[in-house]
Homo-oligomer: A and B are copies of this chain.
């Protein structure tokens, strides 16, 4: 059946995460309601993965199947009218039949924003903390996350996922240009476990504040036990930034039409 890819941006502040829940407003739920109104038929969408309550995205990807022709530009405009301002569909693309936003994803990239001086413009998406953590120490620790490893120590204990092996391609902190006191953490992996990025950020902040050594990251990984890692950083600093697919080069050139 004809398959469509949605590229989605959302401010997660007022939402109970991505995944549909019976009694709370969710991003997936809002999107399905808007699509059903615009297309006059029930539509089920599948995201690349869930995001937790309060987590944002500027590069979430989802797909749905629909058996009638769609005018992409018109649907984009309709959705802008139907959706609340905190959710935006950035592009709608007809993709190869059978494209699957979750199973076809090759990697995901998250960004965690942190700031040690007061800020206002990015208040909703940046975690304020004092004192400033030491970026060099955090980067020493972050380097030890790279590679194919068991991330059980950074996975929520309630998670039912059995396979806890993830391949982290890149993980580093960087100062934000022109924004004193602002630090961003970027991490990309083939897959992420439940609560993984926030547990990693909370633990690296411990390292940056001198409460743990950079080398402790290796010991925490080896323990495969959540209690060894630090607290979870708050959700509002986290953003799903990019999901990559084998077909991306083709898709991107289309979406800029």
A120 at the interface (CB under 8 A from B): yes
Which residues of B lie under 8 Å from residue A80 when comparing CB positions? 118, 128
Report the separation of the CA atoms of residues A7 and B180 in the bound assembly, to the nearest whole angstrom: 11
A8 nearest CB neighbor, chain B only: B120
A119 an interface residue at 8 Å Cβ cutoff? Answer: yes
Q: Is A41 an interface residue (CB 8 A)?
A: no
With A123-B85, A255-B180 in contact, is A90–B76 under 8 Å at CB? Answer: no
Whole-angstrom CA separation of A79 from B120 in the bound complex: 13
- Complex-state Cα separation, A56 to B120, whole angstroms: 10
User: Given known contacts A120-B11, A120-B85, is B180 in contact with A90 (CB within 8 Å)?
Assistant: yes
Interface size class of A (residues with CB under 8 A): 20 to 34
With A180-B90, A255-B180: A9-B120 Cβ-Cβ less than 8 Å: yes
The CB with the most chain B CB atoms within 10 A, among A83, A117, A121, A181, is that of A121
* A85-B119 Cα distance, complex, nearest whole Å: 8
A77 near B: Cβ within 8 Å? Answer: yes
CB closest residue in chain B, given A58: B121
- In the complex, the chain B residue whose C-beta lies closest to that of A117 is B90
Excluding A77-B130, A80-B128, A86-B123, 13 further A-B contacts by CB distance (< 8 Å) are A10-B121, A11-B123, A56-B121, A76-B118, A79-B118, A80-B118, A88-B118, A88-B123, A90-B119, A90-B180, A90-B181, A180-B255, A180-B256
- Contact sample, A vs B, 19 pairs, CB 8 Å cutoff: A9-B118, A11-B121, A11-B123, A56-B121, A58-B121, A76-B117, A76-B118, A80-B118, A85-B120, A86-B123, A87-B120, A88-B118, A89-B118, A90-B117, A90-B180, A90-B181, A91-B180, A121-B125, A180-B256
